[in-house]
Structure 1
Amino acid sequence: MELVKNQRNVWDPLDVIWDLQSDLNRAFNRSLIRQEGRPRNFDPQVEVQEQADHFLVQADLPGLKKEDFSIKVQGTLLTLSGERKIETEKTEKKSYYSERSYGAFARTLEFPVEIQADKVKASYREGVLEITLPKAESSKAREISVEVK
């Protein structure tokens, strides 16, 4: 009967990976814990869907007015930028706890095809921005018939 496992003195590359993963987890957990009194940066969440002739982007922008953000389309890039400002009141309220995030933001999404910038449409309702990005005609799929002899 063996009481102690046979310990081989062999280098295992997976040990290095597991150690690195452990170090990264500790580092990120430490940086994700918000320091008291410091608001987190606002980073809008987006969802992108592809249709045959266009892309549909939905971005969550809670609490923003349409004047607080801008949309720019150039080539294959869509840039959404703006600022979510901290609401300041004249009263001397001190926040006990807050999970809200504030500040300037810029998100750039790259698409696999050119976008027709002059035909982009956008609407903003109930904190959700919806952008329709038509694909350029040259990038749309075409069906080609092949003549069989």
Structure 2
Amino acid sequence: MLPSRRDSFQNALSLREAMNQLLEDSFVRHPVFGTSGQDFVPAVDLSETAEAFLVEAALPGMKAEDVQVTVENNVLTISGEVRREESTNERNYHRVERRFGSFQRSMSLPTVVEVDKINASLTDGVLKLTIPKAEAVKPRAIKVSVGGGQ
């Protein structure tokens, strides 16, 4: 059996996603290519249902007012700043492993979305976005009638 056009399209999308991940892992997350060694790059999961895309981003210790979410030309961007706590006491650090500074993550969304209906919440260090798909791209069942109806 030959693959359908839909299978070929899905395979092309999977290849595109794999290439995006390869480039992101090679360049965006690699410390040599950041603007400084302190850049923070949050981990992001993108999934979908029939109705919406679901995004979960790990933003430990962040406050909602320090996070910005935008969608422009079907590109989702999450940005913000992870701030170091200011201390009045002098400290002598032996190890600093937490990352601080501004960050930005952008990703193309696979289909057109309803920008005005996006829901965002930040709970326990996880930013959760529900991004509804546009009506035109949601799957629809089409009833097939019996006979020669025209």
The TM-score normalised by the length of structure 2 is: 0.69
Structure 2 unaligned regions, length at least 5:
1-29
Distance in 1 separating the partners of 2:70 and 2:31:
30
Matching residue within 49, 58, 62 for 2:47: 49
What is the CA deviation profile of residues 91-129 of structure 1, one whole-angstrom value per residue up to 9, with x for unaligned ones?
221211121011100111211101101111111111111
Map 1:61-72 onto structure 2 (within 5 A). 61-72=59-70
2:111 is matched with 113
Answer whether contact 1:39 1:100 (CA < 8 A) is retained: no
Number of residue-to-residue matches in the alignment: 116
| Superposition deviation, residue 86 in structure 1 | 1.5
Equivalent position SS for 1:40: coil
Equivalent position SS for 1:104: strand
Give 4+ residue runs of structure 1 displaced > 4 Å after superposition.
146-149
Considering only aligned residues, what root-mean-square deviation do their CA atoms show, in Å?
2.2
1:5 is matched with none
1:19 is matched with none
Structure 1 unaligned regions, length at least 5:
1-30
Map 1:73-112 onto structure 2 (within 5 A). 73-112=71-110
Map 1:135-146 onto structure 2 (within 5 A). 135-146=133-144
Equivalent position SS for 1:80: strand
Q: Rg larger in 1 or in 2?
A: 1
Identity of aligned residues (%): 39
